[in-house]
Amino acid sequence: MRVIFATLSFVVFATFSVHAAPGGPPLGAFLAALTGITRAAAAQISGLPLPLPPPTIYSPPTPAPLVPPINPGPAVVPPAGLSPLLTEPGPIYPMPERESPSYPPPPTPGPIDQQKMQFYRNGLLDQQRQLERSGVSPGSERSREIQQQLNQPSSR
């Protein structure tokens, strides 16, 4: 290993003195190539794999721009005239009237206040069922409060 580095350093010294003269080849390119050779030699000696070149990335060529279309001018009206499908909007035939259903319409919901009261009553019933499911006795304070609210005449 010492022999390789001694040889490489001699080559660097000799080349540097030769290429440092004005008008010679560029020194940076030579040093970059020499660095690559040195790394390759050191990798072969130490048993390390050589670095691979970067992958080549393919990019498809950009198509040439197209010429904008030329305006052909106004459209020519056929000698028989335009079709009524194009000139008259709407359906061709009149739409048939729908027959009324044989069943009665669904009942309309009550006024807003009645809906709110029904919703409140349903909520109280749900609370009462949950208390019964959880094992709370019907004589508990919360169960009595719910029952009193349900029994009020204004909530029905």
pTM of the model: 0.29
pLDDT of residue 124: 92
In a domain, 104, yes or no: no
Dmax (CA) for the chain in angstroms is 115
Query: In terms of residue numbers, what domain contains 22?
Result: 2-46
pLDDT tens digits along 9-39: 555 555 555 445 555 556 666 666 666 666 6
Q: What is the 3-state secondary structure (H, E, C) of 40-70?
A: HHHHHHHCCCCCCCCCCCCCCCCCCCCCCCC
In a domain, 87, yes or no: no
pLDDT of residue 127: 92
In a domain, 126, yes or no: yes
Report the residue count for the chain.
Answer: 156
In a domain, 39, yes or no: yes
The percent of residues in the chain predicted with pLDDT above 90, rounded, is 9
Q: How many domains does the chain have?
A: 2
In a domain, 73, yes or no: no
In the chain, which residues have pLDDT < 70?
1-48, 105, 108-110, 154-156
User: CB of 31 within 8 A of CB of 20?
Assistant: no
User: CB of 43 within 8 A of CB of 49?
Assistant: yes
In a domain, 66, yes or no: no
In a domain, 67, yes or no: no
Exposed e or buried b for every residue in 17-56, given b needs 16+ CB within 10 A?
Answer: eeeeeeeeeeeeebeeeeeeebeeeeeeeeeeeeeeeeee
In a domain, 41, yes or no: yes
